[in-house]
Structures are given as structure tokens and as C-alpha cells.
A and B are shown apart, each in its own frame.
Chain A
Amino acid sequence: MNGESTSRVTRIIAPLLVGLAFLLLWEGLVHVYDIPSFVLPAPSRIAESFWLNAGSLMGSLWITLKITLSAFLLAVVGGVGLAILFSQSRTVEMALFPYAIILQVTPVVSIAPLILIWVGFERTQLALLILAWIVAFFPILSNTTLGLRSADHNLRDLFRLYGASRWQVLTELQLPGALPYMLAGMKISGGLALIGAVVAEFVAGSGTSSGLAWRIIEAGNRLDIPKMFAALFLLSALGIAIFFILTLIEHLALRRWHESALRQES
């Protein structure tokens, strides 16, 4: 009990201390060597810039968050939906899976211009959404497909013995069994959706959209390096938040039964 709570505290405190030490060192070095803020701004300057630009940065954060979350949710719906379709028909799977792979292996940067043109520059946000979705969709598809196929063989036999319908096999056996796989895929996809949204916005450049990536480009053009860092920190914070929320969901969903979530009693 004691050891457990100690380790939990350590897990939170230790990285925080490292981060704090890093920031202090950074602040100190900038002052000691008198580094100009357009090369490397001190953390205090970044905080100040964040405060001054809070309005535009938070607005951009909201836009990026919206695109990321929508892309992620659509990726979950599309990925799980397609995986279910694959599990029902081997033929459909064989026909479609190669195209899913093609979509996955083609770098998003290289198709971004095309999507932007097709969707139209006046609807940049929609283009970003599509691009982020393309990036986020595959891990969920491939993980869920694997999960649906991994159902215990004897349990499958048992379902057959009791005359279970396809639908019953899917909902009572395959989907619950695939949940850990699905959640692992979602954890990867959450991060990828954000990366997709940001990368696509970099390619889009100036447009009607003004997410965090655009703030970074804009600040770079004006050599406003502290603001660039501020936007960057927000982006990392968003990524970390997404990861933690998905980890929490995974823990809550699996803690009662799955090996990955069990803590060995000692």
C-alpha cells in the first residue's frame, strides 16, 4: 500500500520536477549569455507573450481542437464501422484493405494540396478535417480488425453450439473482445489526428482557417519568436491532454477484467 502510493506520487512529481528544473536552467542560461529573444526567448518572455496574445491563441486553440476532435470521432466511427464490415465479409476486406493501406502510407503532406484544391480554399477547415481524418483513421481500422478476429476459438464454438446469430456473435463476443485493441488504436489515433490537423494547416498556409499551426507560421514570419513558442506549448499541452484523456478512458473501461489494466497484488 505504502509502496504503491509512493510510486504514484513519484510518477507525477518526478516529471514535474524535471520540467521545472529544465525551465529554470533555460531561464538562467538565456540571462547569463544574454541570448536575444528572437533566437531563444526565456520562459518568462514566452509566458508574457502568451498573456499578451491570449485572445488570438485561445481562439486558434479552439479551432485546432475542434478539427482534431471531429477528425478523431469520425475516425473512430469510420474505423470501427469498416472493421465490422470487414469482419462480416472476407471478400469486402480483401477488396478494400489495400486501399486503406494506400491511404495510410501516402504522406499527408503530399495529398494536402490536392484535397485543399478539391474542397476549395474558402472551406479550409473542411479540408483540414478530411486530412486529419485520413491520418487518424488507419490505426483504429487495423487494430479493431485484428481485435474482432482474435476472439477465443472455443468461445466461438460455444456460441455456435447455442445457435448464436452473426449479430449475437458480433455484439456479445467479438466487440467486447476487441475493445482493448480498439482503445489501443484510439490512443494512437488521438495523437495522429492532432498531427494531421497541424501538418495540413502548415500546407494550407494562409487561408480562412487560423488554427495553432497558422499562429506559428504567422509569428515566424514576423520573427515573433516568443509567440511561436507560446503556440508551440499550447500544441504540446493539447497533445498531452488528448493522450491522458484516452488513457483514462482505457483504464476505466478495462480495469475490471483486462490483463493490461491489472495491477499485480503483492
Chain B
Amino acid sequence: MPAPNAGLLLDIDDVAKTYGSGTLALSGVKAHIERGSFVSLLGPSGCGKSTLLRIIAGLITPTHGAINWAGADQRPGDIGFVFQDATLMPWARVLENVYLPLKLKGVSLQEARPLVFDALERVGLADFAQAFPRELSGGMRMRVSIARALVTEPPVLLMDEPFAALDEFTREKLDDDLLALWQDQKWTVIFVTHSVYESVYLSERILVMGARPGRILSEFTIDAPYPRGIAFRQSTDYLVQCAAVTASLRKGPA
């Protein structure tokens, strides 16, 4: 039995956020994230999921509390961030978009090229390196933005509803791809979603959030083994867990 918190990556310490407009987006959020785990933030629209993710990334500062990192994992480039929409540079080709994080770190294109193609390979878009974002479908753009987050091989991956805009078919495929990558690389993934089914399918742990003010209502551990495939999606266990999570979303604070 390892010592408690041996694998702790970060600790969300009583975080609150009030926006300039007066909106209390988060209040009293406490949680900890284990290194190498797959954690979902699940909650209805407007409950502060994006806000919390941005605070973890250091993009906005909380009005109260802090994010305490256990290691030296906050160096620039150690966090991969996937936004709610693809957020690509329209003037740059796919290759240049994925190269961006490395370029900003001063890596030459020649040196970066194999890494860029490796990242594109993982999302299945190596053939589209020379395309412009507008020439791709919405799902392909999203995959480019995932490749961009992967290219620095970050130990921590923050994803803000990355597949929300996609059809169910593509989404389930990307879910599986993501899980395969995660198992392969052993990153920590914090995954924001408003889909109960997606969160149960993907996560080891689910933090259920509620709105007004945004806070964590309850927590679930999904201990089905990985790899999870279609068999898990169709199992009774899966449906039971989904029902439990849904119930806690309905009920409010535990």
C-alpha cells in the first residue's frame, strides 16, 4: 500500500472565482488529481467547468484558493490544452499548426518534423499535413488540435469538451483513440464533458459539478478495467454506473 498522495499531481485547494462582471463562477472547489489518472469534470452548461480548467492551466487566476502542483509540471509546454473548439490558425497549414508549440519553444522545423508527423499519425491525419484548416471537416480540425496538444508529449493533458461538437459515431471513435493514447503514454488527463455516458466510458474518476455557484457535488470511481471497448459500452455495469451518475446530477449536493 503506497503512502497516501504518493502519486499526487495537483491539489485544488478551496478555489473560488468571481468574474469582473460579478458572476460567481466557482466557489469552494476542493479536489486532488492523481498522477497518471483519467479524471472527468462533468456538469451542466454554465457550471464553471471551463473556468476550473483554465484555472488549472494557469490561464486565469482564482479569486480565492490556489492550485498546488506536486512536481515541476507547470513549465510551459508541460500542459497540453485542447479547447472547446479547434482554435487553429486559419492562415497556417496543418503542419504549421501542429508545429506551433515546438516553434514557440525554439525547436527548428527540421528537428520538429518527425515529432509533428508522429502526432499527426496518432490522430490519423498525416496525409493532411499540407492542408489548410478550412479544407478540413469539423472532426478533422478537432483532431489537428489534439495533435497540437500531443506534440510536446505533455505529462498533463487538459481537454475542454473536445468532442462535444462532433457526431456520436466520430465521437466514440475519438474516445477510443484517446483512451488508447492515454494507456500508451500514461499522461494525466483532465477531461471536461457534459455527457454522462462519455465520462463513465472514459474515466477512472468523475467529479460531478453543479451550478450557481459552480462546485463539486459528488465523486465517482469507475473501476472497470482498461482497455474498455464496445463490450463495456453494452454491459449492465456501464448502464448502472451511468444511472448512478445521472441521479447524482439530478439530485444536487450529496
| Residue B71 at the chain A interface, CB threshold 8 Å | no
| Known interface pairs A161-B59, A257-B134; A179-B91 also in contact (CB < 8 Å) | yes
| Residue B62 at the chain A interface, CB threshold 8 Å | no
Find out whether the CB atom of A158 lies under 8 angstroms from the CB atom of B87.
Answer: yes
Within the complex, which residue of A168, A176, A256 is in contact with B89, where a contact is CB–CB below 8 Å?
Answer: A176
Secondary structure at the A interface, as helix, strand, loop or mixed, is: helix
A158 to B83 CA separation, bound complex (whole angstroms): 9
Binds A, one of B17-25, B101-109, B208-216: B101-109
Q: Mark B79-98, 1 if CB is under 8 A from A, else 0.
A: 10101010101111000000
Find out whether the CB atom of A160 lies under 8 angstroms from the CB atom of B59.
Answer: yes
**Interface range, A side:** 20 to 34
Which residues of chain A have C-beta atoms less than 8 A from B48's C-beta?
A: none
| Residue A159 at the chain B interface, CB threshold 8 Å | yes
> Which residue of chain A has its CB nearest to the CB of B134?
A257
Count A-B pairs with CB separation below 8 Å: 58
Find out whether the CB atom of A161 lies under 8 angstroms from the CB atom of B90.
Answer: no
| Residue B132 at the chain A interface, CB threshold 8 Å | yes
A179 to B92 CA separation, bound complex (whole angstroms): 13
| Residue B207 at the chain A interface, CB threshold 8 Å | no
Find out whether the CB atom of A163 lies under 8 angstroms from the CB atom of B104.
Answer: yes
Least CB distance, A22 to chain B, in whole angstroms: 41
Of residues B58, B85, B90, B133, which shows the largest number of chain A Cβ atoms within 10 Å of its Cβ? Answer: B90
A176 to B92 CA separation, bound complex (whole angstroms): 9
| Residue A164 at the chain B interface, CB threshold 8 Å | yes
Find out whether the CB atom of B90 lies under 8 angstroms from the CB atom of A163.
Answer: no
| Known interface pairs A257-B132, A262-B134; A161-B76 also in contact (CB < 8 Å) | yes
Find out whether the CB atom of B77 lies under 8 angstroms from the CB atom of A177.
Answer: no
| Residue A5 at the chain B interface, CB threshold 8 Å | no
| Known interface pairs A158-B81, A161-B79, A162-B77; A256-B59 also in contact (CB < 8 Å) | no
A157 to B87 CA separation, bound complex (whole angstroms): 10
> Which residue of chain B has its CB nearest to the CB of A154?
B87
> Which residue of chain A has its CB nearest to the CB of B54?
A157
| Residue B57 at the chain A interface, CB threshold 8 Å | yes
| Residue A173 at the chain B interface, CB threshold 8 Å | yes
| Residue B159 at the chain A interface, CB threshold 8 Å | no
Residues of chain B touching chain A, judged by Cβ–Cβ distance below 8 Å, are 54, 57-59, 75-77, 79, 81, 83, 85, 87, 89-92, 100-101, 103-105, 132-134, 152
Q: List 7 A-B contacts (CB under 8 A).
A: A154-B87, A155-B89, A161-B59, A162-B101, A163-B105, A173-B89, A257-B132
Q: Lowest 7 CB-CB distances: which A-B pairs, in order? A: A163-B76, A154-B87, A162-B104, A176-B91, A164-B104, A257-B90, A257-B91
